[in-house]
Amino acid sequence: MNSSAQPGGVPARPTSRDVAERAGVSQATVSLVLRERWQGRVSPARAETVREAARALGYRPNLAARSLRLGRTRTALVVVPALSSEFFAKVYAGAARVAAEHGFGVVLYPSPEGIGPAPDPFAHSSATLDGVLAASMAAPALRALSGGGLPLVMLDSEPQDPGAAATVNPDIADGMRRTAAHVLDLGHRRLAHLAADVDSWTFRERADALARETARVPGAAIVRTERAPLSVRGGLAAAERALTADPRPTVLVCDDDVLAVGALKAARRLGLRVPGDVSVTGFDDTELSTAVEPELTTVRLPATAMGEEGMRALLAALRGETAPGAVLPVALIPRASTGPPPAG
Amino acid sequence: MNSSAQPGGVPARPTSRDVAERAGVSQATVSLVLRERWQGRVSPARAETVREAARALGYRPNLAARSLRLGRTRTALVVVPALSSEFFAKVYAGAARVAAEHGFGVVLYPSPEGIGPAPDPFAHSSATLDGVLAASMAAPALRALSGGGLPLVMLDSEPQDPGAAATVNPDIADGMRRTAAHVLDLGHRRLAHLAADVDSWTFRERADALARETARVPGAAIVRTERAPLSVRGGLAAAERALTADPRPTVLVCDDDVLAVGALKAARRLGLRVPGDVSVTGFDDTELSTAVEPELTTVRLPATAMGEEGMRALLAALRGETAPGAVLPVALIPRASTGPPPAG
DNA sequence: CTGAAAGCGCTTACAG
DNA sequence: CTGAAAGCGCTTACAG
């Protein structure tokens, strides 16, 4: 009886046994050939026969069986807080590219805080994982991850985290420092900070760098800090609060492009021109920042490079090497949303 | 020797055998208890002992072994063309929620055309999959998927596709019909269509509906169709071409919010007011549509519901039932980017 | 109510 | 150069 047919008539998936039978060799030979471990152990002619049989049957190795046997899966989990952000999409793309180069696959896990509903990234990753690459996680989500006992590389996160094999960060502090220097150089002295209402390293870093740089300039001060959820609406409400305060700030330094877009809307509603009456800065350089008018002065983060470097570090850790951390450079992109403060 | 310690000192993951040993029962009992199949077969006291042992050891079943044994994984692949879009993020969220309700997990595969590099969604899904849910795929990507031989449910795609067990669509034609009716009612007669440069059902549907509805009104015509890649920049260039044509259209009907945002920028560059000189419509109702000024008249798609319904259809197909297709209603959201055409 | 045993599909150390 | 056999960790039909 043909093992590729079942009682119900549903064609069963061919196994390496089927391939072996068709090629007239043992299962072992099939495995050797298909895994490219045959050189000097199987004759070239036989190897070709095996490949042909596999092709003819449409054979695909059962990955569950392979994983079980090998004890590893050549699969990494990439955890991101939000799917709908270009930044994380690029991080993923970079990580997946490097993983593929090394014969690794990648499973994406959008963490619950961002979007998904699954409470446990390990409950249903479809199989065992070899390692985890996690980006920009808030503290609680991070703790859940550390519990997995897998090699973990963090992106855009606390550098000294003891649970991580390595950390790959953009130079957030430098990005905010450049932003602050840019508006201070333009002459601004009354700054407001529109801060993301998220407890994570990356946003603490922004707040600290802004405070430090502002303190270096005599007469300059952060006259107001408004926390906002990461949405246009959140930025709008926070900016309205900041812009109706007395004295009114002359620049809104925002933790994220999406908040800055909200700030532009707030200014317009209040009849303030940007940058004539008030300047606005963003952070991330997403497509949003050039979608609006005026286009946003913002900080470009090396998203793809972070995914790539992070995956390299994870693969190194999986080989048992000490994974190198990294701090990647960022760039300030000056656009039309910033200018000199109004006279007086 | 303790099986949870290895020569190297690395703690091995505990297995069901370890749990059985600690609880003083057989491996079979462990499996029965942890899979909740013990009622009437194992005494409650023993069941509790097993659960305690599992907890104490931090036991997690090896999913590769379970999958191999069961021949299925309770895992579906969700394929989306782009990660950085709220629409697909919501589709994913809906699908994952319904899957979780049924004890299914979900693995995300951003198809290469959108963003990712992996050429074969099946090469590295980390294990076998039970089924596939694919959204808005262009024709070639779709063909690759059909080859998997897995139950396939399509979202936002050709309804009659023979490879799919079911198709769940938003009522795209109705959305574009309402958009066209809205601008025709306002008095517009010279329409331009900013069409997405993507060969897929959803965009063909938009073009057809727009043409049909326009043809119903005497004197109205699509005076120009411009194809554009799906980006702000693409929309900008296409809109500049359309707006410098003679006669100039009085409204730009765009296939997507991102194109409409580009159209707003083009109008501004040409010194045209929106909607005073030219009206603009979008499609999708993403956050972009309210980020810009004026805010976009657009069509809201039931993204989350599509993910939910799609996953329900896939789970039905996996149970061997005939999966119901569905067409979900959409809504026109009129905002400030549309108004009456200029006099003359 | 409980346990011993078989087997899912694969890979690899070993024997020839 | 090739094959027979063991075993990865789990689940389930079967025997007691």
Domain boundaries, chain B: 16-61, 72-170+303-327, 172-300
CB contact residues (below 8 A), chain B span 219-258, against chain A: 231-232, 258
The closest CB to that of B100, out of A88, A118, A258, belongs to A118
Distance B9 CA to D11 C1' (A): 30
| pLDDT value of residue B144 | 66
| pLDDT value of residue B133 | 87
Distance B69 CA to C7 C1' (A): 8
CA A60 to chain centre: 31
The closest CB to that of B83, out of A60, A92, A104, belongs to A92
Distance A240 CA to D10 C1' (A): 59
| pLDDT value of residue A11 | 58
Q: Give the Cβ contact number of residue B40 at 10 Å.
A: 6
Per the prediction, chain B carries an average pLDDT of: 86
| B-chain residue closest to A118, CA distance | B100
What would the pLDDT profile of B218-251 be if each residue is shown by its tens digit?
A: 999 999 999 999 999 999 999 999 999 999 999 9
φ, ψ of residue B116 in degrees (nearest 5): -80, 170
Looking at the structure, give the CATH architecture of the domain made up of residues A16-61. Orthogonal Bundle (1.10)
| pLDDT value of residue A313 | 93
| pLDDT value of residue A9 | 39
| pLDDT value of residue A192 | 98
> Which of the given ranges, A16-25, A117-126, A282-291, has the highest pLDDT on average?
A282-291
Mean pLDDT for B270-285 is 97
| pLDDT value of residue B139 | 63
| pLDDT value of residue B45 | 87
Q: Give the minimum alpha-carbon distance from A93 to chain B in angstroms, rounded to a whole number.
A: 5
- From A26-35, A328-337, B100-109, the region with the lowest mean pLDDT: B100-109
CB within 8 Å: B110 and A118:
no
| pLDDT value of residue B66 | 84
Mean pLDDT for B3-12 is 44
- From A75-84, A154-163, B260-269, the region with the lowest mean pLDDT: A75-84
Mutate to test the interface with A, among B124, B293, B311 (most CBs of A within 10 A): B124
> Which of the given ranges, B60-74, B99-113, B328-342, has the highest pLDDT on average?
B328-342
Give whole-number Cα distances, A262 to A114, A265, B81, in Å: 20, 5, 28
Quickly name the fold that domain A172-301 has. Answer: Rossmann fold (3.40.50)
Which residue(s) pair with B298 in the sheet? B333
Which residues in chain B are contacts of A149 at CB distance < 8 A?
13, 58
Looking at the structure, give the CATH architecture of the domain made up of residues B172-300. 3-Layer(aba) Sandwich (3.40)
pLDDT at B121 over 70: no
Is A75 near chain B, with CB under 8 Å?
yes
Is B289 near chain A, with CB under 8 Å?
no
| pLDDT value of residue B6 | 38
Angle value at C-alpha A93, between B113 and A58, nearest 5 degrees? 60
Check residues A90 and B188 and name the one with the higher pLDDT: B188
CB contact residues (below 8 A), chain B span 52-71, against chain A: 58, 60, 62-65, 67-68
- From A27-41, B281-295, B329-343, the region with the lowest mean pLDDT: A27-41
Q: Which nucleotide's C1' is closest to A15 (Cα)?
A: C9
Distance B71 CA to D6 C1' (A): 22
The closest CB to that of B115, out of A89, A117, A268, belongs to A89
Check residues A297 and A56 and name the one with the higher pLDDT: A297
| pLDDT value of residue A6 | 38
pLDDT at A83 over 80: no
Residue B43: CB less than 7 A from any atom in strand D: no
The closest CB to that of B292, out of A86, A116, A292, belongs to A292
Is B97 near chain A, with CB under 8 Å?
yes
Q: Give the Cβ contact number of residue A342 at 10 Å.
A: 14
pLDDT at B1 over 90: no
| pLDDT value of residue A148 | 61
How many CB pairs below 8 Å do chains A and B form together? 173
| pLDDT value of residue B68 | 86
Bases of chain D within 7 A of a CB of the protein: 1-5, 7-13
Give whole-number Cα distances, B15 to A239, A269, A319, B31, in Å: 55, 62, 24, 11
Residue B181: which H helix or E strand, with range? Answer: helix B172-185
Which residue(s) pair with A152 in the sheet? A132
Mutate to test the interface with A, among B62, B63, B67 (most CBs of A within 10 A): B63
pLDDT at B125 over 80: no
Check residues B163 and B138 and name the one with the higher pLDDT: B163
| pLDDT value of residue B143 | 64
CB within 8 Å: B105 and A92:
no
The closest CB to that of A122, out of B60, B110, B264, belongs to B60
Q: Which of B69, B96, B77 is nearest to A120 (CA)?
A: B96
Is B10 near chain A, with CB under 8 Å?
no
Give whole-number Cα distances, B86 to A316, B80, B174, B312, in Å: 34, 11, 21, 21
pLDDT at A122 over 80: no
Check residues A43 and A281 and name the one with the higher pLDDT: A281
Per the prediction, chain A carries an average pLDDT of: 87
| A-chain residue closest to B116, CA distance | A93
pLDDT at A81 over 50: yes
Which residues in chain A are contacts of B268 at CB distance < 8 A?
293
Q: Which nucleotide's C1' is closest to B38 (Cα)?
A: C1
Q: Give the Cβ contact number of residue A194 at 10 Å.
A: 29
Q: Which of A292, A277, A296, A194 is nearest to A235 (CA)?
A: A194
Give the closest residue to C7 (Cα–C1′): B69
pLDDT at B182 over 90: yes
Residue A139: which H helix or E strand, with range? Answer: helix A139-146
Q: Give the Cβ contact number of residue B336 at 10 Å.
A: 14
Percentage of chain A beyond pLDDT 90 is: 52
Is B183 near chain A, with CB under 8 Å?
no
* CATH fold match for the domains A16-61 and A71-169+303-326: no
Say if residues B226 and B236 touch (Cβ distance below 8 Å): no
Residue B302 makes CB contacts below 8 A (sequence gap 6+) with B170, B328, B329, B330
What would the pLDDT profile of B295-342 be if each residue is shown by its tens digit?
A: 999 999 999 999 999 999 998 988 888 888 899 999 999 999 999 999
Query: What pLDDT band is residue B147 in, cutting at 50, 70 and 90?
Result: low
Establish whether the linkage from the previous residue to A324 is cis, with ω within 30° of 0. no
- From A7-21, A57-71, A129-143, A190-204, the region with the lowest mean pLDDT: A7-21
Give whole-number Cα distances, B264 to B47, B238, B256, B310, in Å: 65, 11, 13, 34
pLDDT at B171 over 70: yes
- Distance CA(B206)–CA(B211), nearest Å, equals 9
Quickly name the fold that domain A71-169+303-326 has. Answer: Rossmann fold (3.40.50)
**DSSP single-letter state for residue B231:** S
Quickly name the fold that domain B72-170+303-327 has. Answer: Rossmann fold (3.40.50)
Query: What pLDDT band is residue B97 in, cutting at 50, 70 and 90?
Result: confident
Q: Which nucleotide's C1' is closest to B66 (Cα)?
A: D10
Percentage of chain B beyond pLDDT 70 is: 88
Which residues in chain B are contacts of A100 at CB distance < 8 A?
117-118, 124
Which residues in chain A are contacts of B126 at CB distance < 8 A?
63, 67, 73, 75, 105, 107, 125-127, 129
At A54, which amino acid appears?
A
Q: Which nucleotide's C1' is closest to A68 (Cα)?
A: D8
- How large is the greatest C-alpha to C-alpha distance in chain A, in angstroms? 93
Say if residues A279 and A252 touch (Cβ distance below 8 Å): yes
Say if residues B216 and B210 touch (Cβ distance below 8 Å): no
Which residues in chain A are contacts of B65 at CB distance < 8 A?
64, 68
| pLDDT value of residue A38 | 83
- How large is the greatest C-alpha to C-alpha distance in chain B, in angstroms? 93
Say if residues A253 and A279 touch (Cβ distance below 8 Å): no
| pLDDT value of residue B38 | 84
Distance A69 CA to D7 C1' (A): 8
E-strand spans in chain A? 75-80, 105-110, 131-135, 152-155, 166-170, 190-196, 221-228, 251-254, 279-281, 298-300, 326-328, 331-333
CB within 8 Å: A64 and B67:
yes
- From A3-7, B133-137, B146-150, B320-324, the region with the lowest mean pLDDT: A3-7
| pLDDT value of residue B300 | 97
CA B204 to chain centre: 18
- Distance CA(A33)–CA(A29), nearest Å, equals 6
| A-chain residue closest to B111, CA distance | A93
pLDDT at A120 over 70: no
Mean pLDDT for B17-23 is 90
